Amino acid sequence: MWEEAAASNAAAWKASLERAQRKSLGPDDHNYHALLWLEYANLELGRYAEARRALALIEKDAAESKSTRARSHLAMMRAAYLVETRQWDSDAARLSVATDDLPQKCLALFVEGSRSLERKDRAAAEKALVDLQGVAKANAQGPHSSTGMSYMMHRSSGADAVMAKELEAKILFSKGEVDRALALAREAASAEDSLNFEFGPPVVVKPAHELLGEMLLEAKRADDARKEFEAALSKTPARSLTVLGLARSAAQSGDASAARRAYAELSRIWSHADPSLPERREIAARDALAAAGR
């Protein structure tokens, strides 16, 4: 229900702005939960330009308030934007977010490591991994207080460990150590499965089954990849990059019927996506093949 989610959270965000104006409140009284959801829904809908506008709103508020709340949401929204759009050289990628005092520090390190790999800077990615592993370990051993920042850090520590495994797997894959990378990615997926389920944009910003599926697809193991995308969709129905992976794995494995169904689902999700989305051409080509087949 991405369309409904986008509309509902746009209304909630607007209402919070109106309330803040009526009561002469500052930016920290804005509804950042709604803004995060609004960005994420638009990312899933392929409306990257709309998502970027939402990210600009939290950038502005974080610059004004400098609060942990605003900066935490900026870190989450920047991470989601980069992972979903894969625009690793965009202005959003160059955006600086201070996260040393935030539970999202590991999230930021995962994104920076992933960006470094996309830019062919493996040394920077490995440094990010060492930092991520160190912070994740410290968070896991931290105080278990039920209130305050220490609780938030402890609650996110499971996700931090998953992202550390994911980044290490991505680095190994980039080195051509495919078997080791896949084994570690499977560990990450198993660890993610053990976490408590939470509704909302994923705490593990790159769902582990989705990442494993993409690796398997690149390794030409389409049948195995398809199982991972199906496992991911059992938790996150209609997540667009997972549906795209399912479509590609079905096509690569020669299951034309399953590929058509998955591409049709993605076409429905992205029916009002940005025209510049590269994958829209892929969907159009599949639609044309399906029409020719009929």
Read off the pTM. 0.92
In the DSSP assignment, the letter for residue 27 is G
- pLDDT at 150 exceeding the cut of 90: no
More confident site: 151 or 42: 42
- Mean pLDDT calculated for residue range 121-132: 98
- pLDDT at 146 exceeding the cut of 90: no
Rounded to 5 degrees, what angle do the CA atoms 156, 128, 141 make? 35
Q: What is the pLDDT of residue 109?
A: 97
Q: What is the pLDDT of residue 96?
A: 86
Number of H helices, E strands in the chain: 13, 0
CB of 169 closer than 8 Å to CB of 215? yes
Amino acid at the residue 128? A
Q: How many CB atoms lie within 10 A of CB 176?
A: 8
Q: Which band of pLDDT confidence, cut at 50, 70 and 90, is reported for residue 202?
A: confident
Residues 152-165: pLDDT tens digits?
444 466 899 999 99
Q: What is the pLDDT of residue 206?
A: 97
Amino acid at the residue 124? A
Q: How many CB atoms lie within 10 A of CB 280?
A: 16
CB of 110 closer than 8 Å to CB of 163? yes
Residues 80-113: pLDDT tens digits?
999 999 999 999 999 988 999 999 999 999 999 9
Q: What is the pLDDT of residue 291?
A: 56
- pLDDT at 147 exceeding the cut of 50: no
Nearest CA among 133, 240, 239, 244 for reference residue 184: 133
Q: What is the pLDDT of residue 289?
A: 59
Tell me how far CA of residue 248 lies from CA of 185, 218, 243, 262, 269, in angstroms: 19, 10, 9, 9, 16
